[in-house]
Amino acid sequence: MSDREERRPGPDRPDRGLPSPLLGGIDRARRPTGPVLGVAVVVVCLLVGQTAAALVLFPLFGASPTAARGGSMTLVDQLATMLSFLGIAGMLALWVRLKERRPFGSLGFLPASRVGVHLATGAVVAVVLLGVPVGVNLLSGQFDVAAVHTAQVGWAFVALVGFAVQAGTEEVLTRGYLVQVTYRKWGLTTAVVLQAVVFSLLHGTNPDVGAVALVNILLIALLLAFWALAEGGLWGVCAFHAVWNWCQGNVYGIEVSGMDVRTTVLTTVGAPGSAEVLTGGGFGIEASLLTTAVLAVGTVLAFLAFRRRVRAAAR
């Protein structure tokens, strides 16, 4: 992995000489934030931003506050919870604009070329990668499809909006902002490791979390970090993250990192006598060893794609 070393961006192209254009976003800041303060900014945005938004959205939607703490979620509960991430994104946007004096798009959305291709790639890869552990569990009898809810298909697509907000916000915080501010002072290796640790800790208090789940969350963070670096932006990883979560919850009817959503196309449950190391148990398919294998392969491929970008940029 290449750190910043002596190669520095020039005034005409802020990303020139960098391992990835994604890393050049911090060079647009007139008053950049350091990595320690950057972590504090992420924590404050998460705690204050989401709480403030939830205080508005939950009464507005008539959502149940207990649903956000691990209970079953109706569509209203799910949308209120997911859309509360707008408070996080809003606070971060104010910070980078008012304190750092740079555009929000510099966190991973500039330049905005081939956006449609990146979004489509992210969505397709999420469907394929998730389909492997789910399909193996179904074919081996570990999973049963208990019900098909054709009347909820339309509402399931509405729920995708909420996951797009939630997933996009998490990507901006970790693979965007945190990677950039850490890379500027401590180099790329530390940036990738730190964002993975922070991302894992964010999910460490979810219901039914265990060792396999934490390993898989760490792998997701590494996969998406190398993917974003290889792409040079966040469009693909935002689409992947949103569709990955949405397919688990609103399509297959499996718990999403311990979150139990009720508006689903299918209801997929563990068969009698099924092995939780394969199905993931109450945390969902993200706690399955089958998912571990899929994510490990995906992480290696994303890393190789990033290395190709580095070699091409060095020529």
For residue 256, the cross-strand partners are 259
The CA-atom distances, in angstroms, between 123 and each of 128, 129, 160, 239, 303 are 9, 10, 12, 5, 19
Residue 2 within a domain: no
Q: What is the mean pLDDT of residues 251-267?
A: 94
Asked if residues 213 and 287 have their Cβ atoms less than 8 Å apart, the reply is: yes
Residue 1 within a domain: no
Q: Residue 233: pLDDT band by 50, 70, 90 thresholds?
A: very high
- Joined together, the tokens standing for residue 87 give 């408070």
Does residue 193 carry a pLDDT above 90?
yes
The neighbour count for residue 193, using CB atoms within 10 Å, is 17
74-124 pLDDT tens trace:
999 999 999 999 999 999 999 999 999 999 999 999 877 899 999 999 999
Q: Give the DSSP letter of residue 107.
A: G
Asked if residues 38 and 95 have their Cβ atoms less than 8 Å apart, the reply is: no
Distance CA 13, CA 145 (A): 53
Residue 9 within a domain: no
Residue 12 within a domain: no
Q: Residue 70: pLDDT band by 50, 70, 90 thresholds?
A: low
SS3 call for 83: helix
Asked if residues 282 and 207 have their Cβ atoms less than 8 Å apart, the reply is: yes
Q: Residue 4: pLDDT band by 50, 70, 90 thresholds?
A: very low
Residue 14 within a domain: no
Give residue 254's domain range.
21-314
Supply the pLDDT for residue 293. Answer: 98
Distance CA 202, CA 31 (A): 27
Number of domains present in the structure of the chain: 1
Asked if residues 234 and 226 have their Cβ atoms less than 8 Å apart, the reply is: no
- Joined together, the tokens standing for residue 24 give 């050049």
Residue 189 within a domain: yes
Residue 16 within a domain: no
Supply the pLDDT for residue 315. Answer: 72
Residue 218 within a domain: yes
Supply the pLDDT for residue 2. Answer: 43
Q: Residue 71: pLDDT band by 50, 70, 90 thresholds?
A: confident
